[in-house]
């Protein structure tokens, strides 16, 4: 597994951020957890670090409904800069929305690896990272 994995949580819910960060801490591998309260903060971080791939996230857990820039707006902007990103970033849409429109829209964006319904559990996180590791994506 990657010796220093960067995981980015993009969600405006502080409790969710805390819970996921704590769950991630219990998974046994070296990681750096980044947290942003909206898509714009996360996107700006990506832009600021385009020339420093070691600072870019390996995995993004992205909420849909956030102020300023929601998850889908983030994805629209990410697709534009993706050719400049110096590494593979795996993106999971993680939302409490069960709206079929959101599910279909997420499926239509090829850069979204999967759509996960909140709350995400430690076991799900472990399975996600095991699969990424087994597939050589991290």
Show the domain range for 67. Answer: 5-134
The enclosing domain of 83 has a CATH number of 3.40.50.2300
For residues 62-82, b (16+ Cβ closer than 10 Å) or e, as one string? bbbebeebbbbbbbebbeeee
pLDDT averaged over 10-residue windows placed end to end, the chain, 138 residues: 79 93 80 93 96 93 95 97 92 93 94 92 87 81
**Count of structural domains within the chain:** 1
Going across the sheet that includes 59-62, the strands are 31-36, 5-10, 59-62, 90-95, 112-117
Residue 1 has what pLDDT? Answer: 47
* Residue-level pLDDT at 30: 66
């Amino acid at each position: 597994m990657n010796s220093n994995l960067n995981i980015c949580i993009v969600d405006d819910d502080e409790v969710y951020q805390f819970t996921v960060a704590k769950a991630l801490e219990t998974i046994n591998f070296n990681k750096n957890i980044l947290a942003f309260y909206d898509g714009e903060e996360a996107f700006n971080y990506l832009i600021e670090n385009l020339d420093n791939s070691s600072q870019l996230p390996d995995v993004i857990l992205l909420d849909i409904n956030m102020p300023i820039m929601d998850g889908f707006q983030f994805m629209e902007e990410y697709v534009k800069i993706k050719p400049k990103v110096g590494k593979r970033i795996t993106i999971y849409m993680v939302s409490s929305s069960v709206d079929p429109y959101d599910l279909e829209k997420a499926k239509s964006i090829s850069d979204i690896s999967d759509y996960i319904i909140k709350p995400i559990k430690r076991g799900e996180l472990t399975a996600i990272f095991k699969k990424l590791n087994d597939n050589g994506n991290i």
